[in-house]
Chain A
Amino acid sequence: MNRSPMTQTIKTKVLVVGGGPGGYVAAIRCGQLGLDTVLVEADRLGGTCLIRGCIPSKAIIHAAGQFESMARAAQAPRFGIALDTAPRVDFAATTRWKETIVDRLNGGVRALLARAKVRVLSGWGTFSDAKTCKVATAAGEIVIVAEHVILATGSTPVELPSLKFGGRVISSTDLLSLQALPQRLVVVGAGYIGLELGIALRKLGVAVSIVEAQSQILPLYDAKLVEPLRRWLERHGVAVYVGAKVLGLNSRGDAVEAETRQGDKLTLPADRVLVTVGRQPLTSGWGLEEMAVAMHGRFVKIDDRCATSTSNVWAIGDLVGEPMLAHKASAQGEMVAEIIAGKRRRFDVRAIPAICFTEPEIVSVGQDLDAAGGDATMVGVFPLQANGRALSMDAGDDGGFVRVIARKSDHLVLGIQAVGQHVSELAGEFATAIEMGAVLEDIAGTIHAHPSLGEAFHEAVLKSLGHAIHI
């Protein structure tokens, strides 16, 4: 007869499953509110965002930008700066540098959780019922019985049946940990992840092709916003195949075969194939099916308080739907913690900003032209070419602009987009304007510091009102 090993049981007020930007923020807020909280994470604290997503990719993108700048200086002097020899990249070293950043942030999250008196368990958790979770830790199994459960398990890359991960076929996670750069990269899926990484590798000298099944790269953004990006890809020799369906690897396994809409067959040689066709919520492998939680398609169904169909089981982040963005998950996590602490809250936001760290960058807040075009709206566009700060950063000539869309009847700002180098940092102002319910005259009446990219926003608003100064 087997004797079951000693099992430790922890009773807690709140159990958070998943240590990403949704889960760790929820746990910290719970701790701040004095709730007894346990966080379970099988991997490193920080989740996809910190460990294998947003932050690592931005580090690689930054390094790629530095490399490209030097490479151009080696080709011909720029700004009076010349390099006698072309730069070299040791991608393993780049990856190590990236890891130092990840380590710092990971340590930071750990410290914040400790300060909030959150108990962190490292191990894979599996629910046996909605309030009971067994965690396989290095020190043995721990059973957690919680009054409230916050599900924040996040998402994983979607695999294509015709291009299973393995060998040359890699996910974004794999790419961010490559020890050497491929010579030829084929990116399958021209969403923001594929484009960000494909562009970064192009800047690092990799030959990049992109295959997208839909008729436009970044299909979720309107064509005008994407145009400067399309031109950058064109100028930098990135082959883009839109409306093309990937069939799989060729028989030798060294090229991606695809078929265009016209029926032409493409064979794209590849040392690496990056598949970025989306992410899926992580709903299996941890006992979700034991929790009697209703689903909404592939996502966990929630109401505007992030409550699932099972009482005192909450779900946040990628697990509950689009947009799968870290800042949405964090906002939901904070809110759920406050609800558990007895506050009256609901998820009530006007806009969730989205940024593509492509070249040039794209930021979109609120409704875009596809959503809000038409007679009832007024649009103001200001080109970065006419912005002194952009020119001073050599960022004025890639077709970038700031665009504001407002309701004609009362000038309420409905959406703000920008495309151009460094525009991602404008996201905060854009989101504030929309959340505060700004009308065009509010922005027009706000002095924007000179010289700054923000002036382009001010001018776009003036343009919509018919009196831009600098165009």
Chain B
Amino acid sequence: MTRFIFRLPDIGEGVTQAEIVAWHVRVGDRVAEDQTLVDVMSEKATVDMTSPVAGVVVAINGEAGDFVPVGSTLVEFEVDGVADSSDTKPVPAAAVSPKPAPPVKAPAKQAPKKTPVPPVMLAEPESAIRASTDTPLASPAVRRRAHELGIALQYVPGSAAAGRITEQDLDDFIARGGVAAAPPIDSQGDRYAKRHGVRETKLIGLRRRIAERMQEAKRNIPHFGYVEEFDMTELEALRRELNEDRRENRPKLTLLPFFMRAIVALVPEFPHINSRYDEEPGVLRSYDAVHIGIATQSDAGLMVPVVRHCESLDLWGCARELSRVTAAARDGTATRDELSGSTITLTSLGTLGGISATPVINAPEVAIIGPNKLVDRPVVRDGQIAIRTLMNLSCSFDHRIVDGHDAARFVAQLRRLIEKPARLFMDRP
């Protein structure tokens, strides 16, 4: 038997570390070659690491949520045969683990595994918290200390006989920040019963990434919001017609491809809105290309796949790419390239919509465009009440880059294009 050491391989350009998202093996497991060992995440791609050897797992390094540097030991195996004759001289990972090649390089062959939902870590499931009418069972010393600390023992799980709360239980409760284990919800219980449970969920993987990025965007970017009302009646009529007549191999048109094309049409006039702002050197990069991020809800959380080069796609092309990248994001097969590099972002809650929103800018971009819900409303047109299909558009801009006036002009132009959709298909007059 020899020891084989599996290290985190280089999984992509400039990647120096990855986050462990989920383990699929435990110490003592016998694994076959190619069996999945662990999911790791770098930037936005989740990669499943498969075993280059068959053997028994004898050690595992890192827990879900930990960041591990490239080249560090992930798993140690006892293997039969010759893989490595020395415990102390591990073979370089690249040499022995060809399987988990960087997915970015070959996305088709090495499709990343669907991003798992981060496990919810319950505070240890302990005995039930007593009803508030029950007298908590604890020694006088524990009761006194709890009272001094302002802790109601009703909420402290007791581990001893009859649910008695020991000194240790109180210490543990305090160590958890005074958070009790979740009480089991009694399905036959009183529907008006007070609930006292708190579940602790460690943010790992995508959720942590989302949290960090949102925090960063909100902290760094002076957002300003702008809402305008759009009359969607004509566009909706056109969209309905196009959908009815569309060829079989064409995706159904939603509103978003129209907005994508409208943005493309406006970028020459508003280049700084299709930009990324690099704070550190203080450089704004305005792009000729229009790479539109599409905020997408996946099981794991918010992802922003990117439709690249929208300027090169017609309406149907936009619809097709939109459909493809969002599907890839949802099922976890989106590649790193498909999840990065956008220059402006569209966010739509679809039919949920809302009447208004305050979207958070997808940093380092400077603008995010959010169509809201379509509603038929009576409006005054030419002195007459007419039924029109109206929609609000909620946008946020980086006020460091975009002045209010420019934003208002941009949205006004967008409105002209959307309200008279024929303009979308014509050269500028």
Contacts and interface: CB of A to CB of B under 8 A. Distances in A.
Interface in B129-162: 135, 137-140, 143-144, 147-148, 150, 160-162
Contact of A346 (B135, B139, B147): B147
B207 interface: no
B383 to A, nearest CB: 72
A436 interface: yes
B164 interface: yes
A312 B140 CA distance: 26
Interface stretch (A92-100, A213-221, A437-445, A461-469): A437-445
Contact of A411 (B138, B139, B150, B161): B161
B163 interface: yes
B170 to A, nearest CB: 13
B162 A350 contact: no
Interface in A414-438: 435-437
A366 to B, nearest CB: 12
Nearest to B153: A348
A412 interface: yes
A470 interface: no
Contact of B161 (A343, A344, A441): A441
A84 interface: no
A350 B135 contact: yes
A345 interface: yes
B138 to A, nearest CB: 6
Nearest to A349: B140
Given A410-B163, A411-B161, A412-B162, A437 B138 contact: yes
A439 B147 contact: no
Q: Which range holds the interface residue count of chain A?
A: 10 to 19
A429 B162 CA distance: 20
A175 to B, nearest CB: 37
B147 A412 contact: no
A85 to B, nearest CB: 53
Contacts of B163: 410
Contacts of A412: 137, 162
Contacts of B140: 348-349, 435-436
B144 A345 contact: yes
Contacts of A436: 139-140
A437 B160 CA distance: 10
Given A410-B162, A411-B161, A441-B161, A344 B139 contact: no
A410 to B, nearest CB: 4
A209 B163 CA distance: 50
Nearest to B150: A344
Nearest to B146: A348
A346 B161 CA distance: 25
Nearest to A343: B148
Contacts of B139: 435-437
A171 to B, nearest CB: 36
Contacts of A411: 161-162
Nearest to B162: A410
A405 to B, nearest CB: 14
A437 B138 CA distance: 6
A201 B34 CA distance: 95
B135 A439 contact: no
Nearest to B165: A437
A345 B160 CA distance: 25
Given A350-B135, A412-B137, A437 B162 contact: yes
A439 B161 CA distance: 7
B161 A345 contact: no
A245 B139 CA distance: 45
B162 A348 contact: no
B147 A345 contact: yes
Given A410-B162, A442-B161, A437 B137 contact: yes
A439 B144 contact: no
Contacts of A344: 147-148, 150
B267 to A, nearest CB: 66
Contacts of B144: 345, 348
Given A350-B135, A435-B140, A437-B138, A410 B161 contact: yes
Interface string B104-144: 00000000000000000000000000000001011110011
A439 B162 contact: yes
A348 B143 contact: yes
A376 to B, nearest CB: 13
Given A350-B135, A412-B137, A437 B164 contact: yes
Interface string B153-196: 00000001111100000000000000000000000000000000
A468 B248 CA distance: 86
Contacts of A439: 161-162, 164
B186 to A, nearest CB: 16
A348, A349, A441, A442 pick with most chain B CB within 10 angstroms: A348
Nearest to B137: A437
A350 B160 CA distance: 18
Contacts of B164: 437, 439
Interface string A90-121: 00000000000000000000000000000000
B144 to A, nearest CB: 7
A437 B134 CA distance: 13
B396 to A, nearest CB: 49
Interface string B194-206: 0000000000000
A436 B141 CA distance: 9
B164 to A, nearest CB: 4
B204 to A, nearest CB: 38
Interface in A354-374: none
Contacts of A410: 161-163
A344 B161 CA distance: 28
Nearest to A348: B143
A339 B137 CA distance: 24
A345 B164 CA distance: 21
A441 B162 CA distance: 10
A439 B150 CA distance: 27
A129 to B, nearest CB: 32
A241 B144 CA distance: 46
A345 B143 CA distance: 10
A173 to B, nearest CB: 34
Interface string B378-405: 0000000000000000000000000000
Given A348-B143, A411-B161, A437-B139, 20 more contacts: A343-B148, A344-B147, A344-B148, A345-B147, A345-B148, A348-B147, A350-B135, A410-B162, A410-B163, A411-B162, A412-B137, A412-B162, A435-B139, A435-B140, A436-B140, A437-B137, A437-B162, A437-B164, A439-B161, A439-B162
Closest 8 pairs (CB-CB, A-B): A410-B162, A437-B137, A412-B162, A439-B161, A437-B164, A344-B148, A436-B139, A439-B162
23 contacts: A344-B147, A344-B148, A345-B147, A345-B148, A346-B147, A348-B140, A348-B144, A348-B147, A349-B140, A350-B135, A410-B161, A410-B163, A411-B161, A411-B162, A435-B139, A435-B140, A436-B139, A437-B160, A437-B162, A437-B164, A439-B161, A439-B164, A441-B161
